[in-house]
C-alpha cells in the first residue's frame, strides 16, 4: 500500500517542483487555504505553543504570528519539493551564505578542523545544506530519522543529497563520526526535536520546562569538535540567509550542560526575533519534566 501511495503521489511532487517560483507560491497560498482555513491543521497545537511561549502577548498578536507561521509552513512544504529540480545557481541565489558565514567555515577548513553544526527548525532548513555543499570545503553530514515509508524515505534522501550532502541515521551517528574522524567534515545536529524525558537534558526554553537531546553535547565533548550555531533566517518570500556563529571552541573543557544551554539559548533568541519562522506545529512540549527523586 505504501508503494501505491508513493507512485501515485510522485508525479504530483515533480509537477510542483518544476513550477516557476511565482506559480509555486500561488500553489502555496491555495495549500494554506485548504490546510489552515478549511481543515484547521494543528491550529490548537500551534496556538497553545505560542500562548505558552509568549505569555505576555495578546490574543491578537498570537493570531498574527500563527497566520504568518502557517503561510511559512506551506511555503516550506512546496520549497522542499523544489529541491528536486532547482539548479545549483538557483539554490545559492535563494539560500544565501553571507561572507561572515563562509569565513567561519573557511577558518576551520584552513585549520583542518571538523565541526559540529547545531541548528533548529528555523526558516528553510531543508535548503540550507545544499549551498553549504557547493560553497564550503567540509563534507557536509546531516543526521536524520528515517521515515517509516521506505519509498518516501528514499525520495527525501535523494533530495537532501542531490548536491553532495551526506545523510546518516541518528542512531549510528557517533560510530560513523568516529570512523571518519580524520576526514574534514561538518556534521549537522537539529537540536529542537523531542527526546524521551528520562534521557534528556532539561532546561527552560521559551518560558517552559523543555527536554533537549544530549547527543550534540555528548559527541562534541567526546570528539572535541568545535560547535558552530547556525540559523537560516527568512529575508523575504523564497529567499533565506544562513548565519553561523562559533559557539564552543574546546568542548572537552566544558562542564555538563554548558554546550546544551549555549545552543538552546541561542536558538531561543532567534525564535523571539522571528517567531513565525520556527516550527510551532511540532509537539515540542508533550513530555513533562520527571519529578526529581
Reported as a single tens digit per residue, the pLDDT across 20-51 is 999 999 999 999 999 999 999 999 999 999 99
Domain ranges of the chain: 2-277
Would you state the pLDDT for residue 2?
A: 78
- Tell me the pLDDT band of 293, cut-offs 50, 70 and 90: very low
8 Å CB contact between 134 and 140: no
Torsion over CA of 180, 191, 142 and 187, rounded to 10 degrees?
-40
Residue 291 has pLDDT above 80, yes or no: no
Q: What is the mean pLDDT of residues 172-201?
A: 92
- Tell me the pLDDT band of 92, cut-offs 50, 70 and 90: very high
- Tell me the pLDDT band of 194, cut-offs 50, 70 and 90: confident
Pairing of strands 139-144, 185-190: parallel
Residue 143 has pLDDT above 70, yes or no: yes
Q: What is the mean pLDDT of residues 273-282?
A: 97
Mean pLDDT of the chain: 95
- pLDDT one-digit tens code per residue, 218-275: 999 999 999 999 999 999 999 999 999 999 999 999 999 999 999 999 999 999 999 9
Task: Tell which residue, 182, 179, 180, 264, has the closest CA to residue 216.
Answer: 264
How does DSSP classify residue 122?
B
Would you state the pLDDT for residue 265?
A: 97
Return the SS3 of 168.
strand
Amino acid at each position: 500500500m505504501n508503494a501505491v501511495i508513493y507512485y501515485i503521489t510522485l508525479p504530483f511532487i515533480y509537477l510542483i517542483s518544476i513550477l516557476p517560483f511565482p506559480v509555486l507560491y500561488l500553489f502555496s497560498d491555495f495549500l494554506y487555504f485548504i490546510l489552515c482555513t478549511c481543515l484547521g491543521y494543528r491550529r490548537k497545537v500551534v496556538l497553545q505553543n505560542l500562548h505558552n511561549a509568549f505569555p505576555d502577548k495578546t490574543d491578537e498578536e498570537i493570531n498574527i504570528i500563527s497566520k504568518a507561521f502557517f503561510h511559512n509552513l506551506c511555503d516550506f512544504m512546496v520549497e522542499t519539493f523544489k529541491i528536486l529540480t532547482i539548479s545549483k545557481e538557483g539554490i545559492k541565489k535563494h539560500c544565501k551564505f553571507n561572507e561572515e558565514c563562509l569565513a567561519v567555515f573557511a577558518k576551520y577548513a584552513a585549520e583542518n578542523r571538523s565541526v559540529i553544526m547545531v541548528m533548529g527548525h528555523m526558516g528553510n532548513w531543508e535548503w540550507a545544506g545544499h549551498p553549504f555543499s557547493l560553497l564550503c570545503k567540509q563534507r557536509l553530514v546531516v543526521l536524520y530519522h528515517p521515515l517509516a515509508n521506505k519509498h518516501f524515505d528514499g525520495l527525501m534522501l535523494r533530495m537532501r543529497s542531490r548536491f553532495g550532502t551526506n545523510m546518516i541515521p541518528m542512531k549510528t551517528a557517533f560510530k560513523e563520526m568516529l570512523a571518519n574522524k580524520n576526514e574534514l567534515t561538518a556534521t549537522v545536529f537539529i537540536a529542537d526535536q523531542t527526546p524521551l524525558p528520562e534521557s534528556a537534558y532539561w532546561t527552560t526554553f521559551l518560558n517552559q520546562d523543555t527536554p533537549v537531546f544530549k547527543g550534540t553535547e555528548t559527541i562534541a565533548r567526546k570528539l572535541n569538535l568545535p560547535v558552530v550555531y547556525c540559523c537560516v533566517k527568512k529575508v523575504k518570500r523564497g529567499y533565506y540567509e544562513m548565519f553561523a556563529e562559533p559557539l564552543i571552541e574546546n568542548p572537552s573543557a566544558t562542564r555538563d550542560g554548558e554546550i546544551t544551554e549555549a545552543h538552546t539559548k541561542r536558538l531561543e533568541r532567534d525564535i523571539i526575533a522571528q517567531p513565525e519562522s520556527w516550527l510551532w506545529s511540532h509537539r515540542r512540549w508533550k513530555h513533562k519534566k520527571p519529578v526529581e527523586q
